[in-house]
Structure 1
Amino acid sequence: MKNPIKLAVFDMAGTTIKDQSNVAEAFVRAFSKHGYTAVTLKEANEKMGYPKPLAIKEMLVAHTPEGERVSEKLVDTIHDSFVDEMIQFYKESPDIAPMDDALEVFESLQQMGIKVGLDTGFSRPIADVILERIGWKNHPLIDITVCSDEVSKGRPHPDMILKMMAALGIGSPSEVIKIGDTEVDINEGLNSGCLLSIAVTTGAYTEAQLAPHKPSHIVHRLIDILPLVAAEIGEPVRE
């Protein structure tokens, strides 16, 4: 065996869960409800992957006259609206579905002796609705999930990955790989010291947009990570 890998950490929306700008659209609707009608879908997409209260605060600052303070109460109010929008979407939309190859990848990794974790910029209430809806709540192929409201600092900080490592008894980030579809996913992996920080083009960003953030690899399908992992651990990909 070459490099041991004990844990693969995947993002949720846009990486393992299909997202056709649904999260960004919920952002725009939440802002609009509170009078911020100039917030665009492009701006919202640029904040994908961040902890949602932080993303909301940064967007509010951009739409607030210079010198005026953005209150935490307003951030919380818009976040509450965003949570309501997302929970309604994930409960009711027929579009909610996992990426086609997600479970196949999880199973292949577990056959290699690698645990599977999910982390997300969502708070736990949204994440639980998603996991319940697609049948991933307590799924045997998913060993652990961590949400941004369960740590001191969300992505791009390493807190969520460190929390998983502690829970699973993993001693070094060099035994962990990170997979995600945004800049902050890449940076979370890099900031954590992960062996690999792999970007996928299944979400909001193209290869050209992801490349400047220096992921270890860029793939176009989740299943494309399997040969990368196999090469690192010195094992063939199991069919």
Structure 2
Amino acid sequence: MYLIIFDVDGTLVDSQNTILHGLQVGFEAVGLPMPDRRTALSIVGRSLNEAFADLVGPTRIDLVPAMAEAYRQSKISRRGQGLDIDPLYPGAREAIGSLRARADFLLGIATGKALRGVRHMQDTHDLHDWFVTIQTADTSPSKPHPDMILRAMAETGAEPHRTLMIGDTAFDMEMARAAGARSIGVTWGYHDQAMLTASGADRIIHSFPELERALAEVLDFDEEPV
């Protein structure tokens, strides 16, 4: 049995606009200027408090709780209004559906989001029951700590050499390596190909239709479903 774990933001869904809005709310809450777009998006994948801490630096670490809470409350409010709808990337549903149909695959999620955010994504795109294990910032340290993957393997009984993380950031690749798992980096998210390669990605793909072939190469399984 193979365990394939997906990141969410920047991998399954294009959430850059809603993330930037939340970060803006957080910075405004403490009277600080928002960083430039590239800098702000570079922390996507980290858990919320760690993301703000990375952006404000050690001298303003005391502001992080207020910033994170402003972000959370903004998300709750906007979702209640039917806002913050993040689209799936092209080909995501088809690729996941193809993997889900295989008897030799289990699918999981490992994300810096809270579980509430994952449930919102599942509600939006009708993805309930697609993932047998969901690991979030509610119960694990921030990426690149390996805890999310270790928990996912423990829950499913998957072995490290049959476990693979798919993500768009160096944090995902480093997390996989620390857990003894394999990894595939995707280039449509928030970190570029050079960063993904440098952080240990076993393969790089540029679109979802490339995924199953890349999985077969990295994990050395039969590409045809069983």
TM-score interval w.r.t. the shorter chain? 0.7 to 0.9
Structure 1 residues 87 and 98, CA gap change in structure 2 (3 angstroms): farther
Structure 1 residues 175 and 236, CA gap change in structure 2 (3 angstroms): closer
Match of 2:4 in 1: 8
Match of 1:143 in 2: 132
Contact 2:185 2:204 in 1 (8 A): yes
* 1:213 pairs with one of 192, 195, 199: 199
Structure 1 residues 47 and 217, CA gap change in structure 2 (3 angstroms): same
Amino acid at match of 2:52: I
* 1:201 pairs with one of 187, 195, 199: 187
Moved more, 212-221 or 202-211: 202-211
Match of 2:94 in 1: 104
- Return 5+ residue gaps in structure 1 as ranges: none
- Return 5+ residue gaps in structure 2 as ranges: none
- 1:115-168 C-alpha deviation (Å, 9 max, x unpaired): 0001111122222222222222xx2322221111212x2210110111111111
Distance 1:165 1:155 in 2: 16
* 1:131 pairs with one of 122, 127, 130: 122
Matches within 5 A, 1:18-167: 18-61=14-57, 64=59, 70-71=61-62, 74-90=63-79, 92-93=82-83, 95-110=85-100, 111=102, 113-136=104-127, 139-151=128-140, 153-167=141-155
Contact 1:197 1:215 in 2 (8 A): yes
The TM-score with structure 1 as length reference comes to: 0.83
Residue 179 of structure 1 aligns to a residue whose secondary structure is strand
- Give 1:198 deviation, angstroms: 0.8
Distance 2:120 2:149 in 1: 22
Instruction: Give % identity.
Output: 23
- Give 1:83 deviation, angstroms: 1.5
Residue 16 of structure 1 aligns to a residue whose secondary structure is coil
Give the length in aligned residue pairs: 222
Match of 2:163 in 1: 176
Distance 1:24 1:183 in 2: 20
Residue 107 of structure 2 aligns to a residue whose secondary structure is strand
* 1:228 pairs with one of 214, 217, 221: 214
The TM-score with structure 2 as length reference comes to: 0.87
Moved more, 107-116 or 229-238: 229-238
Structure 1 residues 140 and 38, CA gap change in structure 2 (3 angstroms): closer
- 1:179-199 C-alpha deviation (Å, 9 max, x unpaired): 0011101111111111x2111
